[in-house]
Structure 1
Amino acid sequence: MATPPKLVFERSFDPQTGKAVAVAPGLMRVTAPNASPYTFTGTNSFLVGHEQLALIDPGPDDSAHRAALEQAIAGRPVSAIILTHTHRDHSAGAAQLAAELNAPLWFGGAHRLSRPLRPGETNALRRSSDWELQPDRVLRDGETILAGDLELLVHTTPGHCANHLAFGLAGTDTVLTGDHVMGWNSTLVASPDGSMAHYLESLEKLIALPYRRYVPAHGGPIEDGPSYARALLAHRQERNRQIIAAVEQGARSIPAIVRALYPDVSLPVRRAAAMTVGAQLEYLADLGRLRLRSGLLGLRVSL
């Protein structure tokens, strides 16, 4: 088996926040002013098309970002507002812009959990998700849609959340990957909002598709997307091995595993790490690699 590429994050990206930046022919980026430990330099909104446009991921409900998008649209008709998924840093501005631009909302169905909540369980991303937003059109895997005056190919990529989509620019080697693959960091997967099993399956699916250039919703383009995605896949598989090793060495809870794997990270990153470790534990338990049980002190892990 070939050695996977080394995973290297690219964090030198200049977002040029609020400005329209050409990414590819017929594709413009406008980055929102919502930088954070979870969104990097902010959410990238994209305008697809030339004389007629579609808007992908309108981003947060922010008046400055809305004004920047309207300036970039420059009076051209907008045929649809399209979402990669319904986390609010991507979708909170959608309803108002849809009304202002008289454009329908297209995405992969209303926000939903990757699996039902278990007794006593809470969804850590409940407030970060747009539960009330409904699509005018539900996009399906494999269909081709007219976005402005260009065509997009729809690819379901669940994992980060259940309704996540990627969009290939027809006739090019470019795909918009949303939060599924990002060059600045690995993707947050938090069960039950997301699913590690689905995320890994979607990574393999994306690698097999005929795209080389990945354009994510946070950070800059990834020029050799398949190699980077293979490195991400190997990274997750190595994390699974490290979790098993930590449990073998006595770690019996998510906080103990996080301390073993991420000893020096900041508090916001530690919270994200705990959510992703939880998703990986669930994945490993489903494979029969370890056992999970709920107790008064939270989730307990054993081999």
Structure 2
Amino acid sequence: MLLLTRLVGHTVCGPDGRAVGLVADLTVSLGEHSGRTVVDRLLVRRRGAPDLLVPWSAVGSFARDVFRLSADPAGFAIASLTGALDRDELLLKRDVLDTQIVDIRDQRLARVADVVLARTPDGHLQLVGVEVGFGAVLRRLGLTRWAMRGRDDAVAWSDLHLTSERGHSVQLETPRSAVHLLDARALAVLVSRLDTESATELLTARGPAMAADIVRVSHPVVGERVLRALPDATAAQIVAAMPAEHARHWRRRLSSAPAWRGRRFLRSRVWPRRRHRPRTEAGA
């Protein structure tokens, strides 16, 4: 097994063996239809020169902490990372590492301490899952002896939902993602763990019929919170998709003042989702 935190920072060399830059991140494409999620490209950071976004097919070898390219790196220079990424492409360090996830199988919130990958027989790096245990945090801090005492805790990639801004939106748009394979009750649990903005996006993405089922089986407070956060027309479509008795109940409830009016509504088990800015704006 390989860990993302141990790959980031490795040297990248050109075909002539001279150093080109350092690995800043790895990308994966969630729309891949091969049945597995593999590293698609390397983000290489260079001093005083544009970044490179190198396809894995141009990586000739990877050994002893060095990625050696098989093609001229100049052809992979990018002017803007945002513009260079595909619609279904994620950066593992930026969009996954140290972010909050929802473990769908165990119905819990967790924070990603590391990303686990594995070599495949055909020379790719496959995304396996994420480590969420405190032992992984201790290992990253160099406290190896203490880390060995901790319990290993990992979540398979197929069993998680990302809550970072891009991770969440890409998973909603990708039919292969777990969020599109869950029934209403499982989605209700997920909605209860997400921040309000992400929860409304999930309901909108699944359509009025499924959204109506999700609200019906959710805790009433959660259902009301999400419905009130939606545009009136969207909320009305969801309510209209419910059985008549439930629809009448929700129309009455939404027509009255919310129970928490005048009070700050906090949800202690939800962390704000990570947002990112283009590198030029962030001043990195």
Per the TM superposition, whether the score is higher than 0.5 is no
Q: Over alpha carbons, which structure has the higher Rg?
A: 2
Identify, as 1 or 2, the structure richer in helix.
2
Tell me the TM-score normalized by structure 2.
Answer: 0.29
Tell me the TM-score normalized by structure 1.
Answer: 0.28
